[in-house]
Chains A and B, each alone.
Chain A
Amino acid sequence: MVYDLQLKNVGKVYDNGTPAVIDFNLDVEKGEFIAFLGPSGCGKSTTLRMISGFETVTSGDLLIRGKRVNDQLPEKRPTSMIFQNYALFPHMNVRQNVRFGLEVKGMSKPEADKKVDGILDKLGLLDISEMPTSRLSGGQRQRIALARSLVVEPDILLLDEPLGALDANLRKSIQNELKLLQRDLGITFVFVTHAQSEALALSDRIIVMNAGRVEQISPPRELYTRPKSEFVARFIGSNTLIPGTVLKSDAETITLDTAFGAISGTNRINLTEAKGQNMSIVLPAEAVELVPGDTKEGELRKTFGNNVIPCRIDRLQVVGHIMQMLVSLENGDTIHIEGHVDKYRNRLKVGTSAYVGWQSSGASVIGQ
């Protein structure tokens, strides 16, 4: 099987000796939508720029459709790139922008015109095709950039924070368009973002990066439910981590001995024979419930088993139909909890003590 894109131990060290990307391994199948996700400076953009050829690869191999491209110039690679600032040619109108890449391909004029019209039509740009790009909105500009890149029929489309400059509403709608377009064309997309919502909504697989290293490669759902490292658990969603040592584990659950007593989460990592090992419980904010301090202990045990921790309510805020709650634990850790207003209204008071509780199935366990 020939992958569209392969990175084999790819690394990048800058001239001054700073490592930017360390030992990156990835196989991408044709038509996949891949997202590089991570905080700024994690190496995600550098990796994308290595794939495009704007940055040199200092170690390892980069393959596109089975062919090593380490030393190939950017203009020779079958990739095209979308930039955060659109990077349209300001001295050309919409049609000239889109046509530009075809002019060098030695394509006959009628054929090129037909292709340009086709892609302009597909992206809803035909009506504005003779306009200068400066008069157009951010969303329109990004569509022009897309048309310009897609008309040359790249094997892989690289997108560097393409939605970063758009406002929230527009971002949502372009996100959907992008996803549909990708499905429709069947082209491999590699997408760089620091916004996890974008990565979670768009991609087939997410590569979470931190400090130049790949932390985890997973489909969005799995990344969310099964973080493999502390960094991913803290970076994705809003999780609370409680450290402890393993008391017991079986096929379903792992129980840790923590500062809050024995608490448990799901065993998603097939942990066996690990008694005494240092691990952490990961509590996703969605899995946690807040109950008033005067709840009977028997009732608590019935609902949550041993997964109950006392806390203090610091803040309550109603946003639409959502109640946002901030509580602090005895060790000073704070947890953000969200829930439907109807469930919590009039039951809680700021400054009083309460309990946080969760079902073992809602929490997971990771190594420290």
Chain B
Amino acid sequence: MESKVLKPVLAVYVAAFILFLYGPFFVLAILSFQQGPEGGPQFPIIEWSTYWYRHLFGFTPPSRIAPLPVGEALVRSLTLAFMTMVTATVLGVMAAQAFRRRFKGKGLVFYLIVLGMMVPGVLTGLGTSLLANNVIGIERHWWSTAFVAHVVYTFPFAFLVMLAILNRFDNSVEEASWALGVSPVRTFRKVTFPLIFPGVLSAMLFAFTLSFDEFPRTLFASGRDQTLPLAIYGTFSVEIHPNIFAFGVMTTLFSFALLSVYGILMALSVRRAKKTAMQEDIV
């Protein structure tokens, strides 16, 4: 009786969920195959073509529509995301390690760290830029002020991921290593790190993707040279052409590739872990 009502309701819910999750992307993907250069960013499709993809890479004859100014911005964003990923993950692992021990003001420090992801991005961005310009007196750049803003934003995520991983970590494994006469540094390298590596991968993925499409903080903090999300937003203010959609499809494919790499690394790590399954399962 119950399932007769519940099942359809859940089915509708799941359908709506999937529609809103993938719907926008499919609409954009379809429109990216609009005819060019006359076709606009709306239905109906006049004629299917790959014109906008060729336009993106500069393979089309010159027209009134300027090529998307994303080349340098893309390189900048990738570099920034990479720098942020490495820094935030290292800090996240170190902070989470510190939180395994008791220390004065632990609770306060925890909330201070997590605050980084709670404070509205626009405020952080504006604050960072004011701090740099008016207080410290340095110029804003994507690799300096924006980088700091990105690390402040992504570090809590990396920290929380590592905290969850280290929470389940069996301390006696480290103690066993110390008791064998192995120094804490070497123990971390040879025992702790290999065991928390899946978590480190997740923290890296979080930090990279969050930084890669960060908008509000970067808007104020990045200075003259724009990152990719800013560059794309900049083109909206003029006129929207389906080349944006083509670019969106390309970046999505890139993200999928990134996820696949993560998935493969994770699967390898999990398979090895399964082979040598965590000891507490048996105990």
**Residues in chain A within 8 A of chain B (CB atoms):** 15, 52-54, 73-76, 79-81, 83-93, 100-101, 104-105, 132-134, 138, 141, 145, 148-149, 152, 158, 165
Contacts and interface: CB of A to CB of B under 8 A. Distances in A.
Nearest to A157: B179
Contacts of B172: 83, 85, 87
A105 to B, nearest CB: 7
Nearest to A164: B283
Given A54-B175, A81-B175, A81-B176, A87 B181 contact: no
A70 B179 CA distance: 15
A315 B32 CA distance: 87
A216 to B, nearest CB: 29
Given A87-B170, A89-B191, A90-B273, A100 B179 contact: no
A88 B279 contact: yes
B276 A152 contact: no
4 closest residue pairs by CB, A with B: A101-B180, A87-B172, A134-B277, A87-B176
Interface of B: 102, 170, 172-173, 175-184, 186, 190-191, 194-195, 272-283
A80 B175 contact: no
A90 B195 contact: yes
A100 B176 CA distance: 11
B194 to A, nearest CB: 5
Given A132-B275, A132-B276, A83 B190 contact: no
A165 B176 CA distance: 17
Given A83-B175, A83-B176, A100 B273 contact: no
Contacts of B283: 84-86, 138, 165
A85 B279 contact: yes
Nearest to A76: B181
A75 to B, nearest CB: 5
Contact of A91 (B102, B183, B186, B273): B273
Contact of A80 (B170, B180, B272, B282): B180
Contact of A104 (B176, B181, B274): B181
Contacts of A74: 175, 178-179
B279 A105 contact: no
Given A87-B173, A149-B179, A165-B283, A75 B278 contact: no
B275 A81 contact: no
B191 A85 contact: no
A91 B179 contact: no
Contact of B179 (A80, A84, A165): A80
A172 to B, nearest CB: 19
Contacts of A158: 179
Contacts of B176: 81, 83, 87-89, 145, 148
Contacts of A145: 176
Contacts of A148: 176, 180
A100 B275 contact: no
Given A75-B184, A104-B186, A87 B175 contact: yes
Contacts of B281: 134
Nearest to A138: B282
A100 B279 contact: no
A73 B184 CA distance: 10
13 contacts: A15-B102, A75-B182, A75-B184, A86-B279, A89-B191, A90-B277, A91-B194, A91-B273, A92-B276, A105-B181, A134-B282, A138-B283, A141-B282
A70 B173 CA distance: 23
Contacts of B175: 52, 54, 74, 81, 83, 87
Nearest to A104: B182
Contacts of A152: 180-181
A145 B282 CA distance: 15
Nearest to B174: A87
A92 B97 CA distance: 23
A104 B185 CA distance: 12
Contacts of B179: 52, 74-75, 79-81, 149, 158
B279 A141 contact: yes
A71 to B, nearest CB: 15
B279 A91 contact: no
A134 B274 CA distance: 8
Contacts of A75: 178-184
Given A90-B173, A104-B183, A134-B278, 19 more contacts: A52-B179, A54-B178, A75-B183, A75-B184, A81-B176, A83-B172, A86-B279, A87-B175, A89-B173, A90-B276, A90-B278, A91-B195, A91-B273, A101-B181, A101-B182, A134-B279, A138-B283, A148-B176, A158-B179
Given A100-B190, A105-B181, A134 B275 contact: yes
A328 to B, nearest CB: 41
Nearest to A132: B276
A145 B176 CA distance: 9
B276 A134 contact: yes
